[in-house]
A and B are shown apart, each in its own frame.
Chain A
Amino acid sequence: MPAAAVFAVLLISLVIVCLLVARPAITAARGGKILAFLGLFIFPVLTGVLGFENHMERSKQTRFCLSCHIMEPYGKSLYVDDKSYIPAAHFQNNRVPRDEACYTCHTDYTLYTGGFKAKVRGLHHIYAQYIGKPQQPVKLYHPFNNRECLHCHSGARSFEEGSIHAALMDDIKSNKMSCVSSGCHDMVHNAAQVNGLKQWSAQP
Chain B
Amino acid sequence: MTETQNQNEFISKRLRLAGLLIALGLVVEGLSLTWNHPLSFVAFLAIGGLLLLLGIVVYLTALVSPRQS
Chain A contact residues, CB within 8 Å of chain B: 3, 6-7, 10, 13-14, 17-18, 20-21, 24-25, 27-28, 36, 39-41, 44-45, 47-48, 51-52, 54-55, 58-59, 61, 63-64, 67-68, 123, 126, 129-130
- Residue pair A10, B23 in contact (C-beta under 8 Å): no
- Residue pair A51, B29 in contact (C-beta under 8 Å): yes
Closest CB in chain B relative to A198 CB, distance in Å = 30
Which residues from A are CB-within-8-Å of B49? 48
Which residues from A are CB-within-8-Å of B48? 48, 51
Apart from A6-B33, A44-B22, A64-B38, what are 10 other A-B pairs with CB-CB below 8 Å? A3-B33, A10-B30, A13-B26, A14-B27, A24-B15, A24-B16, A25-B8, A41-B59, A55-B33, A58-B36
Which residues from B are CB-within-8-Å of A58? 36
**Given A40-B55, A51-B29, A68-B38, A21 contacting B19 (CB threshold 8 A):** yes
Query: What is the total of A-B residue contacts with beta carbons within 8 Å?
Result: 96
Interface size class of B (residues with CB under 8 A): 20 to 34
- Residue pair A28, B8 in contact (C-beta under 8 Å): yes
**Given A14-B26, A47-B29, A40 contacting B56 (CB threshold 8 A):** yes
Report the separation of the CA atoms of residues A36 and B58 in the bound assembly, to the nearest whole angstrom.
13
A-B contact pairs, 24 of them (CB 8 A): A14-B23, A17-B26, A20-B15, A21-B16, A21-B19, A21-B20, A21-B23, A27-B15, A40-B15, A40-B18, A40-B22, A40-B55, A41-B59, A45-B52, A47-B26, A47-B52, A51-B32, A55-B33, A63-B36, A64-B36, A67-B36, A67-B37, A67-B38, A129-B38
